[in-house]
Structures are given as C-alpha cells and as structure tokens.
Amino acid sequence: MISIAKPYIGQDEQAAVAEVLASGMLADGPRVREFEAAFAAYCHSPGAAACSSGTAGLCIAVSSLGLPSGSKILTTSFSFIATANCIQYANCRPVFADVDPDTFVLTAATVKRALEQDPEIRAVLPVHLYGQACEIHEIVEIAKSRGVYVIEDCAQAHGATEQGVPVGAIGDLGVFSFYPTKNMMTGEGGMITGRNEALLERCRLFLNHGAPARYQHTELGFNYRMTSIAAAIGMCQLARLPGWNTRRRANAHALSAALADLPWLAVPKERAGCEHVFHQYVITVQDRERLQAHLQAAGVGTAVHYPCTIADQPYYQSLGFSSDDLPVSQQLAGTVLSLPVHPALTDADIQTIIAAVRSFVPAASESAVTVG
C-alpha cells in the first residue's frame, strides 16, 4: 500500500534521541535553544519559541495579543479545527471568511473587505493551506494600516515562500506544527516565529507558566514547553527539510503533468511567485468516494483534508456558526481528495498513483469540478 504520509526516522534521529536520554536532561534545555535558533534562521525570523504542538503555539500566539474577551478574529473555515479552536481558547470569537476557489486560502481582497465591513475585527489568522502561501504580504499591509494583528498558521507550510520570503515572520507571529505527518516532525511539537519581537517574548513567557524568572509568575501561563527529545529530532529533520521539499515539489509536478488532461478532476493550482511545499497534493473531484475506493483497491492510500468546514462541526454549530455564507469552503469539503506526495515515494510509486487515477472510470455525467 502506498501510504498518504510516511514520517522519516533515520539513524541520525535515533542517535540524537539516545544522546538526549543519556544526558538525563529531557525537558527544556540547550537543545531546545539550539533548535529555536536554527528554525528562526530558516524562516528569516528574529527569534523563535519552541512549544509542545502547533495547537499549543496557536493558543499562545492568540493569548499573547491580550485582546479583550469576545474580540473578533478573522480566519478561514476550511482548515484543521485547531485554527479556530485557538481563538476560542483565548475567549475570542472567530469570524469565518470564504476561501479562494483556486487556491483554497483567504485572499487579500477578502481580508480587506471583511475588515472594512467589520471594524471590530482585531486580528487576522490566515492559513497557508496544504503548503501554499496565501497573499500574506498584502494581507499584512492591509492589517497594519488598520492596526490589526496577523498570526500566520504555518502548520502545513515549512519552507513555503511568497515573493521569495519564507512564511512565518511576515506577520506578527507565525506558528508551525511538527506533528509526524508534517513536512518535518518532532513526534509532537510546534514553533512560534514572527517579526513582532515583543509578542514573541510574551509567547515565551506564556508557554512557561508566565514566569520571567523561576517561581515568579507575572501572567496566567501554561506548560507548553518543547522537550529536548523533540528538539533533537527537530534538528535532524530541519537539515533534511529543503531536500524533502524539493522532492515533494517534484512529485507534485509529476502528478500534475500526468493528470491535468483528465476532464473529471482538477489538479492543484500554484500561485505565481510562490514556492508551494506540497504538504498535501489535493485534487478536486465530484465522485470522491468512488475514486477513493478505486484507489484503495489499487493500493493507493488517500485522505480528505477536510470533509467538513469548521463552521459545520457540531461544536461550532452549537455556538451558532454555519457555513451557509461560505459556499466555496462548503463545496471544497465535499470534493477535495489528497493523493500521496511525500518524499519517500519512489518513481515507481508515482507511476502507480498515476496509473491508478487514470484507470478510474467516472460516471458518464461527470465533469471537472468547478468550485465557486
């Protein structure tokens, strides 16, 4: 079976973890500082704060803004649930805008319109979905002109760029995830980056019990620290990330070149001037369930990211949200399908995936999905 994701655990990772275990210093420590510095340099960020997961990082990032309870934060409903939950944790309220039908992310025009219509929005939380940067430079300019914060959800976009600049330090803060399926991983883990050094400093405080010094607590903080074990794995993975991203891009381009002519599916579109790092390779197709079963039978694993908009999740429905005014997000939830694109795929695997997709016989009435 060709799996949808395959975390890499090499001898380097095993040796690095063994070294940490032998040192006896398992929790926070110099290995974590070393990883923070290396990751900050990779993202062109003035600093970085390592944490226990992407969700923890987003929670801290939103908390660090110090917004009054009930403040509105603009985001997307077409993402993983953590994107919106972090707003709820901070007693703020998500405002969902619809995504672009070509790139599946918030556009600058959408953000501008939303901020003009609702001056109560205090922050924007766009997602670089599937490894593709959104129009983050323009979004930051629009937000800045209105005194609105920007937190980039970079959980799926390690190394993605817009205008040659890596995501993560274009907005006030950026948050990455190192969950095992991500472009690089630490088991569980996350990293907060950003150009706003004052907020980064507050994040450091919040993730360590609000303690500027031992047993002195100036804020209501959390224990969201990264372990030295995770940091040791992260250092090994970061060294390989550029090569892995190159491989992901090559795999994606091979898939698109071989599938683009099929009239019943749409291959992913890359924004010009951006380096998409293909955390996921996502096609849209009407008859998703039948294609998924066909691929499964042919030994090709797939996944759906995501089958339901956040606004349509039972918890958010219970709060009164709905996706009635988010038609693109709603339609995408019914048509997206992720194919394997990870760097462990061999050329033979890519050919197997292509042959399996091409051998699918769509219903006679089926045509390409036009979203929007």
Ligand X SMILES: Cc1ncc(COP(=O)(O)O)c(C=O)c1O
Nearer to ligand X, 8 or 264 (CB): 8
Which residues have a Cβ under 8 Å from the Cβ of 110 and sit 6 or more positions away? 97, 98, 99, 100
Nearer to ligand X, 53 or 107 (CB): 53
Helix (H) or strand (E) holding 292: helix 288-297
Residue whose C-beta lies closest to ligand X:
54
Could you tell me if 52 and 27 are in contact, meaning their C-beta atoms sit under 8 angstroms apart? no
- CA Rg value for the chain: 21
Candidate segments 49-57, 214-222, 229-237, 241-249, binder of ligand X by CB under 6 A:
49-57
- In the complex, what is the shortest distance from the CB of residue 203 to ligand X, in angstroms, rounded to a whole number? 15
- In the complex, what is the shortest distance from the CB of residue 310 to ligand X, in angstroms, rounded to a whole number? 10
Q: DSSP string covering 77-110, please?
A: SSS-THHHHHHHHTT-EEEEEPPPTTTSS--HHH
Nearer to ligand X, 156 or 228 (CB): 156
Answer left, alpha or beta for residue 70, where phi above 0 means left and psi between -120 and 50 means alpha. left
- In the complex, what is the shortest distance from the CB of residue 176 to ligand X, in angstroms, rounded to a whole number? 8
Out of 20, 49, 51, 53, the only residue in the binding site for ligand X (CB under 6 A) is 53
Q: Does 179 bind ligand X (CB under 6 A)?
A: yes
Nearer to ligand X, 259 or 337 (CB): 337
* Distance separating alpha carbons of residues 115 and 121, to the nearest angstrom: 6
With CB under 6 A as the rule, give the number of residues binding ligand X: 15
Q: Does 309 bind ligand X (CB under 6 A)?
A: no
Interaction pattern, residues 180-219, with ligand X; x per rule: CB under 6 A = ----------x-----------------------------
* Distance separating alpha carbons of residues 224 and 212, to the nearest angstrom: 15
Q: Does 160 bind ligand X (CB under 6 A)?
A: no
142 phi and psi angles, rounded to 5 deg: -60, -45
Tell me which residues in 120-149 interact with ligand X (CB under 6 A). Answer: 127
Q: Does 80 bind ligand X (CB under 6 A)?
A: yes
- In the complex, what is the shortest distance from the CB of residue 215 to ligand X, in angstroms, rounded to a whole number? 29
Nearer to ligand X, 128 or 288 (CB): 128
- In the complex, what is the shortest distance from the CB of residue 235 to ligand X, in angstroms, rounded to a whole number? 18
Spatial CA neighbour of 80 closest among 308, 277, 372: 308
* Distance separating alpha carbons of residues 131 and 277, to the nearest angstrom: 5
* Distance separating alpha carbons of residues 61 and 47, to the nearest angstrom: 14
Length of the chain: 372
Candidate segments 80-88, 97-105, 241-249, 363-371, binder of ligand X by CB under 6 A:
80-88
Nearer to ligand X, 177 or 183 (CB): 177
- In the complex, what is the shortest distance from the CB of residue 178 to ligand X, in angstroms, rounded to a whole number? 7
Q: Does 177 bind ligand X (CB under 6 A)?
A: yes
Positions of E strands within the chain: 49-51, 72-76, 93-97, 121-125, 149-153, 161-162, 165-166, 173-177, 190-193, 265-266, 274-275, 281-285, 336-339
Q: Does 156 bind ligand X (CB under 6 A)?
A: yes
**What is the binding site for ligand X (CB under 6 A)?**
53-55, 58, 79-80, 82-83, 127, 153, 155-156, 177, 179, 190
